[in-house]
Structure 1
């Protein structure tokens, strides 16, 4: 799980933020803070607004916080400031198996969003069911939703809004991307939904996974060995690994292989 978390951490925090993103003042983020506060008040959600550039979070605690036994907070307050985008007190309550899958699917969703036209990215959110400990230590079903927000003209995601509420009994799938305009649901984690690698890169890593050398991959795909080498380097960079063995292992975890 640590490898997946490090990869997700790098993807989110090492985006090419520009001086425009750095100049965003506190007042510029007020509408998004208000949005998180309203979700906490109206839905009873635990709402976490994370600033990916600053690596900080604001947590707003709705009525659901009482069920989860989150202490030392006051409902309807201005929010608790954390010096990380990872809200440890909340994450520590998630079942370890579900937490690992949460990170995997969030990485898939990040690339899913980046593969959509920029004008449509704000129309999707990610949702999945989690098992979380309540105030008695018993695991209860919780619905987790994630919105990536880009309050700038640049091709980056500046903010993330996570919501935790009691789960719906008929929630579909293990983790889905929901289109807010149409209600269309697309399950994440399936091979067709992973856009981390290009079509050609997926072909190359499939042959890598079979143990084929670069010259044989070049022959099989009718491309030059130099092109294969370039694809190999791009695969290692995108998957944030150091060698082909690690690349194949990570690709299996992400559903690419």
Structure 2
């Protein structure tokens, strides 16, 4: 499934940017703020440059994740993804493909209204699986509608009644409507 995502993401033509450096810097600032304010592991991926920028907030320390580099030459944060349970990783890729297809079908103005939330089991530094909430947003697109900047947020799932995360859901955050769901 990841290979199919690669094909779809990398076959997009990248042109029609207005001030792309400003947009990239804005995206990096947003990712860094999420890492600081929500203690997430934030990963901003640039589809055109095929690079990612990793910001390790408090969640990184809790699972013992110390990225070897803050900037990588890939849109996939493999150093972190290698810790995700294989079943959950396939679910993540499957839902990301559905999410990509959905966003390609909606107007550019509506894209920020959608996000993907997935519950993942991820190994901590002791080799024990703990729960993480993964959230994906597409922050920026070209004028032709091609997806350019993606933001992945990895948060801790709190062990408290009522603090549950769906197995996998695509949601319209403006209306609260569930677009697609994968339970169990």
- With the length of structure 2 as denominator, give the TM-score of the two structures: 0.89
In structure 1, the partner of 2:146 is 156
The answer on 1:47 being equivalent to 2:42 is yes
Partner SS state of residue 128, structure 1: strand
Post-superposition shift, 1:22? 9.7
Aligned positions, number: 179
**Correspondence 1:1-257 to 2 at 5 A:** 4-18=1-15, 20-21=16-17, 24-25=20-21, 27-71=22-66, 80-167=70-157, 169-172=163-166, 174-188=167-181
Query: For 1:100-125, what per-residue CA distance to the aligned partner results, in whole angstroms no more than 9, with x for missing partners?
Result: 11111100110011122332111101
Kindly name which structure, 1 or 2, has the bigger radius of gyration based on alpha carbons: 1
In structure 2, the partner of 1:195 is none
Q: For 1:189 and 1:110, locate their aligned partners in 2 and report how far apart those are by CA, in whole Å.
A: 16
Deviates more, 1:30-39 or 1:117-126: 117-126
In structure 2, the partner of 1:207 is none
Partner SS state of residue 152, structure 2: strand
Q: Confirm or deny: 8 A CA contact 2:56 2:67 kept in the other structure.
A: no
Instruction: Give RMSD over aligned pairs.
Output: 2.0
Post-superposition shift, 1:23? 7.2
Which gives a bigger RCO, structure 1 or 2 (Cα 8 Å, sep 6+)? Answer: 2
Q: Confirm or deny: 8 A CA contact 1:49 1:159 kept in the other structure.
A: yes
Post-superposition shift, 1:186? 2.6
Query: For 1:100-155, what per-residue CA distance to the aligned partner results, in whole angstroms no more than 9, with x for missing partners?
Result: 11111100110011122332111101001000001211000100000012244221
Which structure shows the bigger proportion of residues in strand conformation?
Answer: 2
Q: For 2:23 and 2:180, locate their aligned partners in 1 and report how far apart those are by CA, in whole Å.
A: 34
Gap regions ≥5 residues in structure 1: 74-78, 191-257
